[in-house]
Amino acid sequence: MTEHARLERELKAARLATQLARRHRADRLFRIAGMAAVAFAALVLAFLLLTMTANGIGGFKRAELRVPVDLASGVLQVDPAQLAQGDPVRVLETAGLPQLLDSELERAYGAGGARLALDGAWRELAQRIARDPALLTQKIDAWLPASGDLAGGLRGEGTPETVSHARALAAGGNLATHFDPGFLSRGDATSPQDVGIWGALKGSILTMLVTLSLAFPIGVLAAVYLEEYAPRTRWTDLIEVSINNLAAVPSIIFGLLGLAVFLGLFPNWRSAPLIGGMTLALMTMPVIVISGRNAIKAVPPSIRDAALGIGASRIQVVFHHVLPLALPGILTGTIIGMARALGETAPLLMIGMRAFVASPPDGLTSPATVLPVQIFLWSDEIDRGFVERTSAAIIVLLLFLLAMNGLAIYLRNRFEKRW
């Protein structure tokens, strides 16, 4: 009997040992698989960021040509006082700045020299003079944007003559790539030498403001009502299902809705951030409602009981206790919804935000485009100069996204209560 018991115990130990080895192996394998997944994700992210930065940095630069300009030669008949009165660029144009620049270019680089600089390069010179009228009495070396052809030649693209011409100019110190701060302050243009991202960035900011100020209050109020007030009936079930479905609707459908409803109502506001923001708000609202409801549901019922028990009214319970505790969760949902809206292109194409808009929008109702649409438009351009500009625009979009998320995370941490 004791022998039997001993054998049985040994058998059990042996079985346990084989089982145990198998269990440990499974554990190890799972851990390795998990680490591999994380490593893969990190690798892809690093690759994305590295290539983007490597390509995009070039997008913040452009080829510029050195032009010696003698502003004091007496060709320009401008009184500095005049500049302060009217539009200085216009004043300098009538005073003959474009012609002066052309002749200076011909003098420096021979016949055909005027075509080496970008059309309208005189405007940048005019703006510099407007900022510093003292230049009018000086002889200056101005670095002005090179023409598209010359910029291509510097990159080694175009006809062999252009390339060798560009190389010769660069070797002589007359052509170089310089950091282009104007990229962050100009609007869209036809030449990659002259484009800027500010128009699209401002359009995005305005659109996001409209989206946030519509989707956040409506979404939160809907979530509060459904969670705290609405009785559970077939109707509220139906509403819940509808909202969940709304969050899954492809974004282009919202674009069609915006086209049919909002542009139908306000036909004069085509391409306006107001209409774009309203369309994106439709898309963002269900995300906020769903996350808001979950956050409100997660507030312990004991807190509601406590407040009701000392005679708080329902609205006091909601605004004094439930919402402050649910706010971090609501903000998380809002970040996700807003990030999605910021990156959205399709619905905005439907309401005309893909138009070529050269000047940054001055208000909610003036025509605009947004960053992702601008990226889409530039990536479609034939001119090779747009490749780097597109990467630069992507960097701006990502930084904007990062700033927005950073703000939301900061707010969330501020409101987070622990207990």
Measured distance CA(325)–CA(408) in Å, rounded: 16
Of the pair 244, 316, the CB lying nearest other proteins is at 316
Q: How far apart are alpha carbons 411 and 303 in whole angstroms?
A: 23
CB 117 within 8 A of CB 146: yes
Helix (H, G, I), strand (E, B) or coil at 191: coil
Cα 73–74–76 angle (5° rounding)?
A: 110
Burial class (CB in 10 A: 0-12, 13-18, 19+), 180: buried
Strand 175-179's sheet: what is its strand order? Answer: 139-145, 61-70, 175-179
Q: Which is nearer to other proteins, 81 or 310 (CB)?
A: 310
DSSP-derived secondary structure letter, 76: S
Rank residues 218 and 308 by Cβ distance to other proteins and give the closer one. 308
Contact between 232 and other proteins by CB under 8 A: the answer reads yes
Between residues 293 and 354, which has the closer beta carbon with respect to other proteins?
Answer: 293
- Footprint (CB under 8 A) of other proteins, residues 299-328: 300, 302-313, 316, 320-321, 325
Q: Could you say whether residue 234 binds other proteins (CB under 8 A)? A: no
- Of residues 324 through 363, those in contact with other proteins by CB under 8 A are 325
Q: How far is the CB of 324 from other proteins (least distance, A)?
A: 9
Of 271, 280, 295, 267, residue with least CA distance to 357 = 271
Binding to other proteins in span 82-141, by CB under 8 A: none
* Closest CB to other proteins among residues 160, 309: 309
Distance in Å, CB of 228 to other proteins, minimum: 10
**Token pair 């909002």: residue:** 262
Give the nearer residue to other proteins in terms of CB position, either 155 or 320: 320
- Min CB(326)–other proteins separation in Å: 12
What is 307-370 written as a DSSP string? HHHTT--HHHIIIIIIHHHHHHHHHHHHHHHHHHHHT--HHHHHTTTTS---SPP-STTS----
Residue 413 contacts other proteins per CB under 8 A: no
Of the two residues 4 and 232, which places its CB atom closer to other proteins in the complex?
Answer: 232
Cα 6–chain centre separation = 73
Smallest distance from the beta carbon of 299 to other proteins, in angstroms?
Answer: 10
- Considering the complex, what minimum distance in angstroms separates the CB of residue 410 from other proteins? 20
Structure tokens at 147: 């023409």
Cβ nearer to other proteins, comparing 232 with 234? 232
- Mapped onto helix, strand or coil, the DSSP state of residue 22 is helix
Q: How far is the CB of 243 from other proteins (least distance, A)?
A: 20
Interface with other proteins in residues 207-226 (CB under 8 A): none
Instruction: Find out whether 169 and 65 touch, Cβ atoms under 8 Å.
Output: yes
Binding mask 246-285 for other proteins (x = CB under 8 A): ----------------------------------------
Task: State the number of binding residues for other proteins (CB under 8 A).
Answer: 22
Write out the residues near other proteins by the rule CB under 8 A. 231-232, 300, 302-313, 316, 320-321, 325, 417-419
